[in-house]
Amino acid sequence: MREPLRIAVLGAGRIGKMHAEHIVHHVPRARLVSVVDLHEELAQACAVACGIDDYGTSLSSILNRSDVDAVAICTSSTTHTEIIEAAAGAGKHIFCEKPIDLTLERIDSALEAVESAGVLFQVGFQKRFDPSYQRIRRAIDNGEIGTPYSVHIASRDPAPPPIEFLRTSGGLFLDMTIHDFDMSCFLMGHDVMTVYAAAAVRVDPAIGAIGDVDTATIVLQYGDGTLLTIENGRSSAFGYDQRVEVFGSKGSIRVDNSYPNTAILSTEESVRRDVPYHFFLDRYKGAYIEELRAFTEAVLDGKPSPLSGKEARMPVVIGLAAKLSLKARRPVEIAEIASTV
Amino acid sequence: MREPLRIAVLGAGRIGKMHAEHIVHHVPRARLVSVVDLHEELAQACAVACGIDDYGTSLSSILNRSDVDAVAICTSSTTHTEIIEAAAGAGKHIFCEKPIDLTLERIDSALEAVESAGVLFQVGFQKRFDPSYQRIRRAIDNGEIGTPYSVHIASRDPAPPPIEFLRTSGGLFLDMTIHDFDMSCFLMGHDVMTVYAAAAVRVDPAIGAIGDVDTATIVLQYGDGTLLTIENGRSSAFGYDQRVEVFGSKGSIRVDNSYPNTAILSTEESVRRDVPYHFFLDRYKGAYIEELRAFTEAVLDGKPSPLSGKEARMPVVIGLAAKLSLKARRPVEIAEIASTV
Amino acid sequence: MREPLRIAVLGAGRIGKMHAEHIVHHVPRARLVSVVDLHEELAQACAVACGIDDYGTSLSSILNRSDVDAVAICTSSTTHTEIIEAAAGAGKHIFCEKPIDLTLERIDSALEAVESAGVLFQVGFQKRFDPSYQRIRRAIDNGEIGTPYSVHIASRDPAPPPIEFLRTSGGLFLDMTIHDFDMSCFLMGHDVMTVYAAAAVRVDPAIGAIGDVDTATIVLQYGDGTLLTIENGRSSAFGYDQRVEVFGSKGSIRVDNSYPNTAILSTEESVRRDVPYHFFLDRYKGAYIEELRAFTEAVLDGKPSPLSGKEARMPVVIGLAAKLSLKARRPVEIAEIASTV
Amino acid sequence: MREPLRIAVLGAGRIGKMHAEHIVHHVPRARLVSVVDLHEELAQACAVACGIDDYGTSLSSILNRSDVDAVAICTSSTTHTEIIEAAAGAGKHIFCEKPIDLTLERIDSALEAVESAGVLFQVGFQKRFDPSYQRIRRAIDNGEIGTPYSVHIASRDPAPPPIEFLRTSGGLFLDMTIHDFDMSCFLMGHDVMTVYAAAAVRVDPAIGAIGDVDTATIVLQYGDGTLLTIENGRSSAFGYDQRVEVFGSKGSIRVDNSYPNTAILSTEESVRRDVPYHFFLDRYKGAYIEELRAFTEAVLDGKPSPLSGKEARMPVVIGLAAKLSLKARRPVEIAEIASTV
């Protein structure tokens, strides 16, 4: 395909604006051609911030333009599948923020549209593009730690999002743990057999009031017996808590939190450092850039998607199993969920 | 009571010999008066190593001696309750290696004997006496981390014990995880509600062949919703893996592994340090000494037991729940176990 | 001044190319207007890589252009003062790579030209813009460590540059330690009283053959007694060694090396991580960007230079003192050097 | 020689009492036979604390006893050589606290007496027996870091001793740095060529008033060019600062401070741990025990002294060179000092 890849960003909220700026400043082989948002002032503000004049409010217009090669879907989750289908129909390559959708039916329908159209489709689980998690993956692939026996993921946000957002988020497992389920797929593949979830409301009773939980532990067991544990929380006093460890027959590898500076201060009180990154956009800035570079490279060079629809469907399956486990207070077989479709 | 406290060590195996030597060299307020073992040569060897002449093979003789104030029970687990009852009957104070027994019936019977006799009774869960875990406990008690929301314990042995030993050990949960269940009691108290255990045989098929498992993840949930996860393994390539972390509303505290030296070596390959302590007697040497000092001090100064029978019973309850959970493939309510007695 | 700041990069070698790319991709308020190099093919290659058409070989032409607001001088050190004087004469703001020059006479002459012209002048000691070193500075300024008593800087390159480069580099102290002398000024100010340097040829006899050294320890003492030690080396097996520590009356603060990933691998051999950044352009990428942003902001917003000529002159004074100390085998008073001008 | 080795401790101050207790509790092959101190109540208190009845005030009496195989000299430094000569004359093996003396003349005289008598003589530089520093030594010996190029020692006490003590201590270099000079000998051998010392009074003007300094940096250079830097201070807000690093052609090895516990606390303020050991007897408890075990073993098994008089003389030579360097404000050749005797 002709370079640069011409991308339109759909949705000019926080994440859309970030991707738009990354395209302009950090993806040399791509160009931002337009920003679309139902709220014109948001679209305009984003375009101005990115130094382009082209913005709009109409999805159909943008999909009809021949100078748009690809779209980055950054609208609210409930609109994803409809836009995917329209974009695929228009022959546009698609980068889509996670999750594709909260239901398997709509996901499968969207993925069929993608396949029929033959466009490249990539989902925005950015953590896979972080160099430290990639180092874990490499250690597994290289046999540096032997056969994996167990995995531990600690994943906590600094503070809960607004209740209004949570109300339609799909709940902790599909909104937040979904990233950790994707990490589980990245590191351990797709052969999950059972899912057990235990949870509580500890951070904010308002989260309980809308039927959600804010603190959870989820245990996955794989076909070969491997055990994977995820610890989640909607609040973390010291900032964004993002740690992964894989323990295997020949050793273990782990990634601890990341920090804005490396200075260590020693006084009569303690030996200390400043807290980790607080904001996910800071912690994963490099990873967000890399995922767009990988998308651009895959389209331009005719490579397979770095994170296909099939890959991105599995975290939703696990998330639905976790929801059922919590409700039914028992471990759930993945087959129970898979068979629902 | 008159100082020093005169202790006879019962059982001159590895752990008995260690306690005997600690009494001689590290517990100034105690004195080792005799070593008893059914195997005379073991008793003699231990006595010689400790620089005393007094040893024997008869339990009843030692319990009849007026120059014995206390006994340290280091025989095999199945003999504990019988010896406890005899020693209590003879008015001896009792330090007993963990676990008291593998059944609640016998535990309760032994604890009744202890209570009737009015002797001091302490169980050897040495980890409670480690300064780093005590620092965690202090952080909880001081409110430094606010209200605990979740706990994570990683606990792995460097290599499995002989199959012969495992055959009568009570299984992974009652032999090994029992220490972690005690840690859970030490840090979180006794209000466990449900226990979920998942496990596999990964390290050695021979362990599976005797009906046991070697790799496990156990999730406890407490009355207030707190989630506690234990990751266990019978093998760890890098040595003894012993880590604890408590995450709370105001922060977290964690203890990583301990090392024989602190040197960091940097070469073109890596930045590295030598592996952690390999052997539990090395990792917890200080804690083993402290538990005997605490026992001696409690008896001599008329203080309450630092780790009473009631404290030591709860880990067995949790262990039995974990066994049932694994067998029944479902979370088990602690009440189910408690009500069996 | 009208935005964006229009900068021409002079010198399209490794460092010039880096600055050119940073202007294009990472300094939104600046624009790269041209690249100049005596070697036309270098200038062209750099321009193409940056996505611009404008390049050339003539310094005078570029200084006469009214669409050039500022120049970034990235030519070889010996040409700096001549270009500074020409650029100042043409009223261009100046970003100049370190060092200004190897002699105080020429430095002072160039700085006079800058002052007469009233242009903004900034020298490229990028380490001042690193967030970790800035954290050290902040700890000093905030009183977090009380009054500084001693400073320790370890600064070693992964491997020596080509002998041809070293031949005209000014020697270890003016080529490499100059960065550490600037760090000393950044953290401790300019009140150095004495300089003692000891050194040796350990890495490569060829370095000794051209009259230079490759391993050195330099001790500065300040007016208030503070002691600052720099350890230098032209080779480091594990990569770029860049550490700074300040010890004061109330505590200490230190910055250790930086790493491309944070993964920790534990096996039966060791507990280890991959080596630190190897290449200075990787280690200080963020700092190189920040210094250009700061330059751009200072010019556009009429702020003082973030790193003025007066600041950048002092490291050369200390470097000359170190050279004299090594030759004369005695501590040298800074006043001896200062008085030579 | 007949076991156990029967040792009398001479001097029942802080360090003598520690050694006496270590002999009783931690050196199985030795026995404490008596404690001698000019102050009878000190001798008695120490004997009681150690559980023995034998104490006294007369040096000559103890040296005449045939049931004393060895003495541990823990009296004030100025009395060491006289006691060494008397003990050697009486055929007693000698463990002597550092330094032997503050003058080379008296040291040499005492060492001649030792040699004539053929007794074993060991000096109490305990740091050599610390497992972490031994790991550094091993890395050098094994070639793990290649050829050493430079060494950095940071060594600071938590707080200065009383002025009264400092008045007769020999000054910072002979009282405190002497340990670091011994570390330099332990790691790098005896081929020091030049010594440069810079220092200041920062911690307490009273230290300056008695002609001493409290903050210093000393640079040693060896025959092969290796540079060794020591940073000293009489005060450290965060506790006992004891770090060593050796950088070589193939890598580096370093030992950081030691801590009473390993817990890491993360809150919204910082990620921190409790401060390092504060007291040198705590930091080096294991090393103090090991040096006495090594002494006992050497005498009983007829091995050479683990830290001979010749080894222990060199730190004093370097200390005298440092004193001269500070006074003369120039680097001093070791040959200048050596030739004074």
Residue matched to tokens 């009570």: B170
| Residue in chain D nearest B28 by alpha carbon | D25
Report CB contact under 8 Å: C231, D229.
yes
Query: Which residues in chain A touch residue B329, judged by CB atoms under 8 angstroms apart?
Result: 331
- Token readout for A247 is 């323990």
Q: Which two tokens stand for residue B122?
A: 């302490």
Distance from CA of B218 to the nearest CA of C (A): 23
Predicted local confidence at residue A28, as pLDDT: 87
Number of A:D CB contacts under 8 A?
Answer: 48
Asked if pLDDT for residue A339 goes beyond 70, the answer is: no
3-state SS track over D28-64: CCEEEEEEECCCHHHHHHHHHHCCCCCEECCHHHHHH
Q: Which two tokens stand for residue A170?
A: 């799909």
D261 with B131: Cβ contact below 8 A: yes
**Which residues 215-254 on chain D approach chain C with CB closer than 8 angstroms?**
215-217, 219, 221, 224-227, 229, 231, 233, 235-238, 241, 247, 249-252
The reported pLDDT for the residue numbered C180 is 98
Residues 35-54 of D with CB under 8 A from C: none
Average pLDDT of chain A to the nearest whole number: 96
Given strand A5-10, what is the order of strands in its sheet? A55-56, A30-36, A5-10, A70-73, A93-97, A121-124
Cα–Cα distances (Å) from B56 to B16, B65, B110, C46, in that order, read 14, 12, 24, 89
Neighbours of chain C (3+ CB pairs under 8 A): A, B, D
Tell me how close the Cα of C217 comes to any Cα of chain D, in angstroms. Answer: 7
Answer whether D267 touches B (CB < 8 Å). Answer: yes
pLDDT grade, residue A75 (50/70/90)? very high
**Cβ–Cβ contact B266 with C under 8 A:** yes
Who's near B309: CB < 8 A, 6+ residues apart?
B100, B107, B110, B111, B114, B115, B121, B123
Would you place residue D338 in the very low, low, confident or very high pLDDT band (cuts 50, 70, 90)?
confident
At C1 the pLDDT is: 75
- Judged on CB neighbours under 10 Å (0-12, 13-18, 19+), A24 is middle
Judge whether A274 is closer than 8 Å to chain C, CB to CB. Answer: yes
- Which of chain B's residues have a Cβ under 8 Å away from the Cβ of C238? 266-268, 271
- State which residue of chain A sits closest to D238, comparing Cα positions: A268
- Chain C nearest-CA distance from D91, in A, is 47
Contact C26/A at CB under 8 A: yes
pLDDT at B338: 73
Decide if C5-119 and C128-283+315-338 have a common fold.
Answer: no
Q: How many other C-beta atoms are found inside a 10 Å radius of the C-beta of residue D78?
A: 12
Per the CB < 8 A criterion, the answer to whether B240 and B157 are in contact is yes
**Cα separation, B67 vs B31, whole angstroms:** 11
Nearest C-alpha in C relative to B258: C271
What average pLDDT does the segment A12-23 reach?
A: 96
**B215 to chain A: nearest residue by CA?**
A149
> Which residues of chain B, if any, have pLDDT below 50?
none
Longest dimension (CA), chain D: 66
- CATH fold label, B5-119: Rossmann fold (3.40.50)
Query: Residue D340: pLDDT above 90?
Result: no
Copy the structure tokens of residue B313. 């019973």
Test C237 with B272 for CB contact under 8 angstroms: no
Closest approach of chain A CAs to the CA of D221, in angstroms?
A: 30
Residue pairs between chains A and B whose CB atoms are closer than 8 Å: 122
pLDDT of residue C292: 98
Share of residues in chain D with pLDDT > 70 (%)? 99
**β partners of residue A15:** none
8 Å CB contact of B273 and C271 = yes
Cα A278 to Cα A275: distance, rounded to the nearest angstrom = 8
Q: CA–CA separation, B53 vs C44, rounded Å?
A: 92
- Min Cα distance D251 → chain C (Å) is 5
List of E strands, chain A: 5-10, 30-36, 55-56, 70-73, 93-97, 121-124, 148-156, 192-200, 215-222, 227-233, 241-248, 251-255, 263-267, 271-273, 332-333
Sequence ranges of the domains in chain B: 5-119, 128-283+315-338
Residues with pLDDT less than 70, chain C: 339-341
**pLDDT tens sequence across C51-69:** 899 999 999 999 999 999 9
> D234-244 pLDDT, tens per residue?
999 999 999 99
pLDDT tens, position by position, D105-154: 999 999 999 999 999 999 999 999 999 999 999 999 999 999 999 999 99
Q: How far apart are CA B183 and CA C120, in angstroms?
A: 64
Q: Is D149 in Cβ contact with C215 (below 8 Å)?
A: yes
B307: three-class secondary structure by DSSP = coil
Condensed to tens digits (0 to 9), the pLDDT of residues A222-260 reads: 999 999 999 999 999 999 999 999 999 999 999 999 999
Q: How far is CA C9 from its chain centroid?
A: 17
ipTM value of the model? 0.95
- Please state, in angstroms and rounded to a whole number, the distance separating the CA atoms of residues C287 and C274: 22
C-alpha span between A11 and A34 (Å, rounded): 11
D154 or D341: which carries more pLDDT confidence?
D154
* Residue C47 confidence (pLDDT): 96
Q: What is the pLDDT of residues A129-173, one digit of tens each?
A: 999 999 999 999 999 999 999 999 999 999 999 999 999 889 999
Q: How confident is the model at residue D28 (pLDDT cuts 50, 70, 90)?
A: confident
CB-CB under 8 Å, D274 with A276: no
Residues D10-21 have pLDDT tens digits of 999 999 999 999
Write out chain B residues lying below 8 Å of D243, CB-based. none
- Beta strands of chain D (E only): which ranges? 5-10, 30-36, 55-56, 70-73, 93-97, 121-124, 148-156, 192-200, 215-222, 227-233, 241-248, 251-255, 263-267, 271-273, 332-333
pLDDT at residue number B141: 98
Query: At residue A143, what are phi and psi to the nearest 5 degrees?
Result: 75, 15
CATH topology of domain B128-283+315-338: Dihydrodipicolinate Reductase; domain 2 (3.30.360)
Residues of B within 8 A of C267 (CB-CB) are 237-238
Q: How far is B194 from chain C (nearest CA, A)?
A: 33
Q: So what's the pLDDT on residue C340?
A: 56
3-state class (DSSP) for residue A232:
strand
Report the pLDDT averaged over residues D35-64. Answer: 96
**Six-digit token string for B26:** 């590290």
Distance CA B259, CA B261 (A): 5
pLDDT digits (tens, 9 = 90+) for D215-233: 999 999 999 999 999 999 9
